[in-house]
């Protein structure tokens, strides 16, 4: 994934949501370190934190459907913001 980001040359910066729980998998610290590397690579390529990139380390969350469901509404709102009528 990092190589894909590093080789990205298009001018477009599609919105990306990255998150992980602090209790994910058998090695949560490694997962978070890897995700931070991905976030940093995206920032170096021109994504802007809080604009077209959202990054969140979710305290206590595990790799489980209940954890994903708890924040999926925020993911949708970020990727597909409401248009004022």
Check residue 65 and give its pLDDT. Answer: 93
Closest CA to 31 of 58, 3, 70, 67: 58
| Contact present, 21 and 67 (Cβ < 8 Å) | yes
Supply the pLDDT for residue 84: 84
Q: What is the pLDDT of residue 83?
A: 86
Per-residue pLDDT tens listing for the chain (85 residues): 999 999 999 999 999 999 999 999 899 999 999 999 999 999 999 999 999 999 999 999 999 999 999 999 999 999 998 888 7
pTM confidence score = 0.89
The answer to whether 1 touches 31, Cβ cutoff 8 Å, is no
């Amino acid at each position: 994934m990092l190589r894909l980001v590093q080789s990205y040359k298009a001018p477009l910066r599609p919105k990306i949501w990255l998150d992980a729980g602090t209790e994910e998998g058998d090695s949560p610290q490694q997962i978070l370190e890897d995700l931070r590397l991905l976030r940093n690579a995206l920032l170096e390529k021109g994504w802007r934190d809080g604009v077209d990139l959202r990054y969140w380390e979710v305290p206590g969350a595990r790799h489980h459907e209940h954890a994903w469901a708890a924040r999926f509404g925020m993911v949708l709102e970020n990727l597909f913001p409401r248009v004022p009528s």
